[in-house]
Copies of this chain bind each other. A is one copy, B any other.
């Protein structure tokens, strides 16, 4: 698995005992071929023919010496690392770490390592991270979650993505974004429509929306679905029933504080993500408002917590793991040229009815 060769003393030797990693030249020497041949025999991607006998000899030598190719040298020479960058809002966020995990697993299976960056949706942090990734020549970049609507940010990102393209790196969006980037997207509009229709079907008429961050494209899409369902049912969206929740638990709690004071009060709440829904649930409990007795709550995402909360949350399931894996797949296909399209494939979302929704009070 690993061996020491004493031929020469390298300057980088930190042990002082002449230990050195085995390199291709050692393998070549032992198997009696040139480094070129050794390289071709060992790297699966090579098109240059190598006879079976030679390949066997080289492989045997490599095994005997415990040769492991230096990924750094490889990356350097091919001008592209075997790393995939993953840009998310926060690793601690249960929505995003689901993507991160799936992407990481898929990447590892394909021989890639993933660098996960938590940007807190801060445009500067985000740009700085991408810059570091570009400096490190990541092979692919996964932009998880919706993009910010911000001129400077979008310009900076376009620039950086251009640099990536220049060295052969590819980017895939896993959320709505500006620009024609290949994408694997959740059906936000459809999902929000499903959630809202579910409430309408139950008999609710005054349905509040706890909205995500205003500048986030994901928020907009989900809001669009909500409004579409409402207007299709002949209902009017009451601006007083739309309050921001910033996609956080605290935001959801604060939103509820405002909503319970609205007159007439809403009988149902659609929270644009589960964190806000769960925050809302907590605040409602604190205020001794019964869910779903007094008010129904629907979330969006179906994070693991949703099923475990009290009451279990009705929500819209986003296939996070599937999208994460699809993103890595897409990167790999883009990289090997088996897919050159920039199209966006959208992944369906589905309503999961649990116990936080019921018909409004005074109705069966």
Contacts and interface: CB of A to CB of B under 8 A. Distances in A.
B104 A70 contact: no
Contact of A73 (B1, B20, B76): B76
Given A12-B167, A12-B168, A14-B168, A97 B104 contact: no
Contacts of A1: 159
Contact of A118 (B72, B101, B305): B101
A97 B81 CA distance: 25
A119 to B, nearest CB: 10
Contacts of A101: 90-92, 118
Q: Which 7 A-B pairs have the closest CB atoms?
A: A76-B76, A71-B135, A71-B136, A91-B97, A12-B79, A14-B168, A72-B76
Contact of A115 (B19, B114, B165): B114
Contacts of A68: 131, 134-135
A133 B115 CA distance: 12
How many copies altogether?
2
Contacts of A136: 71-72, 82-83, 113
A72 B20 CA distance: 21
A163 B129 CA distance: 29
B310 A159 contact: no
17 contacts: A2-B159, A12-B168, A14-B166, A14-B167, A15-B166, A71-B136, A71-B137, A72-B72, A72-B137, A91-B97, A91-B104, A92-B98, A105-B118, A113-B115, A115-B115, A278-B308, A310-B310
A321 to B, nearest CB: 10
Contacts of A131: 68
A306 to B, nearest CB: 13
B104 A116 contact: yes
Given A166-B15, A168-B14, A137 B70 contact: yes
A249 interface: yes
A25 interface: no
A81 to B, nearest CB: 6
Given A101-B118, A104-B117, A135-B71, A92 B165 contact: no
Nearest to A82: B136
Nearest to A94: B92
Contacts of A118: 101, 104-105
Given A20-B166, A92-B101, A249-B308, 16 more contacts: A12-B78, A15-B166, A21-B166, A68-B135, A70-B137, A71-B137, A72-B76, A72-B81, A105-B118, A113-B117, A113-B133, A114-B115, A114-B116, A282-B308, A282-B310, A285-B310
